[in-house]
């Protein structure tokens, strides 16, 4: 078996731990921490916002470090910092300490362990099968939602929230760190191999060798903005719908069990669709596949706006989840095609501060619309419009090629 698939396996575990221990555990730590520190729900809403802001802020720097061939080192440091963050979380005694832990070691550890590091590493090990490999790797993000709820619930029941936080520190340090040190190599050439496991590495698409990757120059390149905005608008509906699909369904008269079933199906399709759309992107092209995914998201939202039955609600949630699933592998795939595999880390990192206000603001917008109107209808139609705009930007995502090279992305 080609060694690159072992790299995919390690990144799967790394993303499962990095995402699952922070985002998917937070809902279960929420009330115990709130009651222990005597906080309000508004105050408890800020730790994850702080994580997103810090992670986006350091992403450009991390991307540059990883592009210089330091993915293994970055992931190892991230695992240690992540573990230290959970140990510190288990000892917080005040709200400022809570915010500092989430905005400090937990956010930094997650960014070093996951974020731009994993797609950058995968892009080095694969060319022809890059989309498929990215999809399989990123299944770890969705799978964390399946397993971490049960793990964290069991830990809190047995050890209390502080004991659970301390136990979570073992996952990055005792599971991810050994895997990274044992199996991760920064590039196939480090082991005398070639990308995709062939006798020679497949040729990369031609890119303009004169394109600067300095942040100040990157933001002046039109291709950078077309990619960043298309994906920001594509990611935004999911950021809101994941948290508020259940109350929307209940507001339409569905039971809590029926609403939970829709959310679970959406998450399941989000997990299964990643490798599928990664393969489709390899086979039919990243831009065409991206338009397909955006269309599926829009169609799913239209179905859940006013479903006539539970079957229609489930269909809409499943279609939406499937459409969103493709965006994560396609983001890395298209960035590699547009700017070249050598610059994936820097490009993904530079895009995070641009995308973050749109992706993180969508949930606040959806809640604000409901507070003002008593319904999510306007917000959901707005998200359909955003997806249409994102699809309209896709034809402008073109590879930066030298004059003599073949055109088209």
The answer as to whether 373 is a domain residue is: yes
Asked if residue 240 and residue 138 are part of one domain, the reply reads no
Asked if residue 236 and residue 176 are part of one domain, the reply reads no
Asked if residue 222 and residue 127 are part of one domain, the reply reads no
Asked if residue 294 and residue 172 are part of one domain, the reply reads no
Asked if residue 222 and residue 178 are part of one domain, the reply reads no
Radius of gyration, alpha carbons of the chain: 21
Asked if residue 226 and residue 183 are part of one domain, the reply reads no
Asked if residue 374 and residue 236 are part of one domain, the reply reads yes
The answer as to whether 251 is a domain residue is: yes
The answer as to whether 65 is a domain residue is: yes
Asked if residue 168 and residue 58 are part of one domain, the reply reads yes
What is the reported pTM? Answer: 0.77
What is the per-residue pLDDT across 34-60, written as a single tens digit (0 to 9) for each? 899 998 877 887 888 888 889 888 988
Q: What CATH number should be reported for the domain holding residue 74?
A: 1.20.1250.20
Does the pLDDT at position 265 exceed 90?
no
Give Cα separations from 278 to 93, 287, 333, 396 (angstroms). 44, 12, 8, 21
pLDDT score for 178: 97
Count of domains for the chain: 2
pLDDT score for 312: 93
Q: How confident is the model at residue 68 (pLDDT cuts 50, 70, 90)?
A: confident
Asked if residue 220 and residue 140 are part of one domain, the reply reads no
Contact status, residue 309 vs residue 326, Cβ threshold 8 Å: no
Distance CA 155, CA 175 (A): 17
Asked if residue 248 and residue 349 are part of one domain, the reply reads yes
Asked if residue 172 and residue 43 are part of one domain, the reply reads yes
Asked if residue 181 and residue 252 are part of one domain, the reply reads no
Distance CA 347, CA 354 (A): 11
The parent domain of residue 291 ranges over: 215-396
Average pLDDT over residues 6-20: 93
Residues 6+ apart with CB under 8 A from 233: 358, 386, 387, 389, 390, 393
The answer as to whether 365 is a domain residue is: yes
């Amino acid at each position: 078996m080609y060694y690159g698939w072992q790299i995919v396996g390690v990144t799967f575990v790394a993303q499962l731990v990095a995402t699952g221990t922070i985002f998917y555990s937070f809902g279960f730590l929420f009330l115990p921490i709130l009651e222990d520190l005597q906080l309000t729900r508004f105050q408890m809403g800020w730790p994850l916002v702080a994580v997103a802001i810090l992670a986006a802020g350091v992403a450009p720097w991390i991307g540059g470090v990883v592009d210089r061939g330091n993915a293994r080192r970055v992931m190892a440091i991230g695992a240690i910092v992540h573990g230290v963050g959970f140990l510190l979380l288990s000892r917080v005694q005040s709200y400022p300490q809570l915010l500092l832990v989430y905005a400090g070691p937990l956010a930094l550890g997650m960014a070093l362990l996951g974020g731009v590091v994993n797609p950058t590493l995968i892009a080095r090990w694969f060319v022809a099968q890059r989309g498929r490999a990215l999809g399989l790797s990123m299944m770890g993000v969705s799978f964390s939602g399946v397993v971490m709820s049960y793990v964290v619930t069991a830990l809190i029941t047995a050890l209390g929230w502080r004991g659970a936080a301390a136990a979570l520190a073992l996952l990055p340090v005792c599971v991810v760190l050994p895997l990274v040190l044992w199996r991760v190599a920064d590039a196939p050439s480090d082991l005398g191999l070639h990308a995709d496991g062939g006798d020679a590495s497949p040729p990369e698409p031609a890119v303009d060798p004169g394109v600067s990757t300095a942040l100040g120059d990157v933001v002046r390149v039109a291709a950078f903005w077309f990619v960043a905005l298309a994906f920001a608008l594509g990611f935004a509906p999911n950021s809101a719908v994941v948290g508020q699909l259940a109350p929307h369904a209940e507001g339409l008269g569905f039971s809590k069990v029926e609403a939970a079933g829709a959310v679970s199906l959406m998450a399941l399709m989000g997990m299964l669709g990643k490798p599928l759309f990664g393969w489709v992107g390899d086979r039919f092209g990243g831009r065409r596949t991206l338009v397909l995914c955006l269309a599926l998201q829009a169609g799913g939202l239209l179905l859940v706006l006013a479903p006539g039955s539970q079957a229609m609600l489930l269909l809409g949630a499943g279609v939406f989840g499937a459409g969103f699933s493709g965006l994560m592998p396609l983001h890395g795939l298209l960035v590699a095609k547009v700017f070249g595999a050598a610059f994936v880390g820097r490009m993904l990192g530079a895009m995070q501060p641009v995308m973050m206000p749109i992706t993180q603001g969508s949930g606040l917008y959806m809640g604000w619309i409901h507070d003002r109107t008593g319904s999510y209808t306007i917000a959901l139609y707005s998200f359909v419009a955003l997806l249409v705009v994102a699809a309209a930007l896709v034809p402008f995502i073109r590879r930066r090629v030298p004059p003599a090279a073949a055109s088209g992305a």
